[in-house]
Amino acid sequence: MSKADSHIIEPPRLMAGAAVVFWGALSGNALAGFVIAVLLEARNWVKIRWDFGEKGHVKAYQVSLFLLLIGMVMIWMDGAGHYALLKIVQWMPLYALPVELAQRYGRQDSMYLNTFFYFSRRRMIQDRREGREVSPLEINTGYPYIGLVLLAAACATQASWTYMAGIILFTLAVFMAVGRQRGMRSLGVLYLAPLVIILSALFQWGLVRLNNYFRNPGAQNAENLEAGGGAINAQYARLGGLGKVKQSKEVMWRVWTSMTPGYLRVASYDTYWDGLWTYNYRADGFEDAVEAFEQDGSITVGDVDHLAEVYREEDQARGADLRDEQGARIRGTVENGSPTTIVPSLPGYFAVSRMFGTNVTSENNPLGTLRLINRDVIIDYMLWAETGNVVQDALPRDKDLAVDVKEAPVIKNIARDLKLHELSSARAKVTALQRFFISEFEYATHFEADYDYREKSELEIFLTEAKKGHCEYFASAAVLLLRESGVPARYTIGYAVEEKEDDVWLIRGTHGHAWCRVFLDGKWEDVDFTPPGWLDADMAQVDMSLAERFQEWLKLLREDFQIWRQDEANQGKFWMAFSGLGLLLGGWLVFRLWQSRLSIDAEGAHVYWTGDKVETPLLQLEKYARNLLGPRPIGMPYGEWMSGLYDVEGVNRAELNKAITLHQKMRFDPAAEMDEAELVSLVAKVKSALKQAPRSQ
């Protein structure tokens, strides 16, 4: 197809290259942007072309899809999490490059639109086989490619005046180029500038919102994760609502250890109010929860090859030499978009080491809650613990004996009925409460909705009427009853460790649990008041389909592969194998293209005259004709090609025809008598008309 067809337009020179350089600058891929820009714009100076045709365009599209697939796999394996889509779009200039190169270096200036739609293409092929006439739509991919590049630049940056200025300039340039090709005056196009600025601002605002959503979808609850019936958060945990408590069957964490962990604690809380457990950091003298984590910070000990972080000075010697200590390796995925997240810890942990990632550090707060900073989506770390000795939690304070005023009456009544104050020891009180819950309550994840929650709290209804509930209710009630009887206690939430497969403990959402930390015999201990059998009831709901098991396998494979790939001993092997495969595929593709180029050169070898050439004034019109008609097809005589200008607005057909005739005589019949001055005059008139003509007719 020729560029003279009115619906086929392509960008002016350097526009696509400038857009790709702009993308590279904003995305931090300046070298990639420069290389792609050179490949795109070299077409304006390199005379090599390929006869790709319909099948070649389809193959170029398939190469683009293959690159996209490879990119998606790599991004998924890297654990991009919620913003994986942004990272995929960010590299669209590379994925779409084969199609654009096939367009630019092919003999046609357009390709069938159904190149990108399999079923439409099959329908066209079938129509041809059955003798039906087909006329598929054709497009030039130049402007769509520029649009993809600008979209990729938006996904690679936050709100910035640089991007805003760039998108306005490129949009105006596109409007002016298309307007000129469609015959519009440049001044008229400039009237659209205010509209372009408004639309560009709205476009950027929308993309920034989308960008922020994918990069940090959990901005309001950035450290939440499923556990039991409620949410674990650095600052609060709310009792589960009415109805069926939703829990995930997905494997959240895996633990490799020779110990029997029992529990993985995620967070502890010391203050209860109206169904909400929080950590009262102000009572400990902190301005906010972040400062509570930072407190004294961690202490790095050990040598370069065996670094560990401890939190107390008395643990420095143990942390520096962990060979004789008990450890546990914990691995999981947290895709909430936050670089800082709460992670599970073992009872009695005193050191953390081998944290996966770059510049990853750890912190804990006075209640022993552990978090990692600058972590990757895939989390992997070693915990070193002294079983049965909780050392990170601060000693009891007054707030560890406080009872919510709203719950105080029912708590006092039950404590009095159980005669907890009359028992001589804290352990006796714990035992009495455990018997109370086992004998009079039942575990349930489903609640009846016919209670009057306007007059009574959920906890009071649980204790006095429903007599059934899930672990959060048992743990909350037990903490308040113990406090009422003078025993310091805290609410803790995390996971019960029960499921083992080969040498690894699997921690699922259904293992999410709430229990108590009780101060007994001068130290904190984990005590569970939920009636036995609760885990069996929850695990009975875990009936995973084949698809769910496959998804779980993929998730664990991704975690293991990412950890393996980042190991220094494996990095060289991985990149050598990956680069080798890329070179093989790239070499095969280059070889095929080289063969195609040679065949085209051979085809054109007999077309071009290699002897002396007679230059005529008509040759001055070649660059104008190329802008309007596209490159002269191989084998087409110059005069025949120039006749394509007959229908250009402003060109006098008779004058152009006479100029072509004189050109032919001068080139191929030098002996004929002719007036060269007349040809010069005719060429000048046609040239003047072509200068005023729009780019595409």
Residue whose C-alpha is closest to residue 695's, from 641, 636, 637, 630: 630
Q: What is the dihedral of CA 279, 281, 287, 288, to 10 degrees?
A: -20
Q: Which helix H or strand E contains 231, and what residues bound it? A: strand 230-232
Residue 285 corresponds to which tokens in the numbers above?
């003298």
Query: For the residues 556-570, what does the mean pLDDT come to?
Result: 77
Q: What percent of the chain has pLDDT over 70?
A: 79
State the average pLDDT over residues 450-469.
Answer: 82
pLDDT at 185: 60
Buried b (16+ CB within 10 A) or exposed e, 479-490: bbbbbbbebbbb
Q: Is 284 helix (H, G, I), strand (E, B) or coil?
A: helix
CA 207 to CA 201: how far, in whole Å? 10
pTM over 0.85: no
**Quick one: tokens of 131?**
């003798």
| 393-416 pLDDT tens trace | 889 999 999 999 999 999 999 999
User: Within a 10 A sphere around the Cβ of 511, how many other Cβ atoms?
Assistant: 26
* Cα first-last separation, the chain: 13
Positions of E strands within 36-152: 111-112, 138-139
Least confident of 316-320, 504-508, 524-528, 542-546: 542-546
Q: Which of 286-295, 518-527, 627-636 has the lowest mean pLDDT?
A: 627-636
- Please return the burial class of 123, using the count of CB atoms within 10 Å of its CB with bins 0-12, 13-18 and 19+: middle
Which has more confidence, 10 or 145?
A: 145
**DSSP-based three-state secondary structure for 127:** helix
Rounded distance between C-alpha atoms, residue 278 and residue 307, angstroms? 33
Burial class (CB in 10 A: 0-12, 13-18, 19+), 619: middle
Q: Which two tokens stand for residue 507?
A: 């921690």
- Please give the average per-residue pLDDT across 429-452, as a whole number: 83
Report the candidate in 114, 116, 113 with the shortest Cα–Cα distance to residue 65. 116
Residue in 232, 241, 257, 460 with CA at minimum distance from that of residue 367: 232
pLDDT score at 229 = 31
Cβ neighbours for 399, distance < 8 A, ≥ 6 positions apart: 270, 271, 280, 283
Task: Break the chain into its structural domains and give their ranges.
Answer: 15-215, 225-241+250-563, 617-692
Give Cβ neighbours of residue 250 (< 8 Å, ≥ 6 apart).
508, 509, 552, 555
Q: pLDDT digits over 213-234, tens only?
A: 555 544 333 333 333 333 344 4
Q: List Cα–Cα distances, 93 to 98, 581, 639, in angstroms.
A: 10, 22, 39
The first and second tokens of residue 615, run together, are: 């230059």
Quote the radius of gyration of the chain (alpha carbons, Å): 37
* Residues 41 and 13 sit within 8 Å (Cβ to Cβ): yes
Which of the two residues, 115 and 1, has the higher pLDDT score?
Answer: 115
d(CA 415, CA 439): 16
**If we measure between CA atoms, which residue out of 335, 383, 393 comes closest to residue 355?**
383
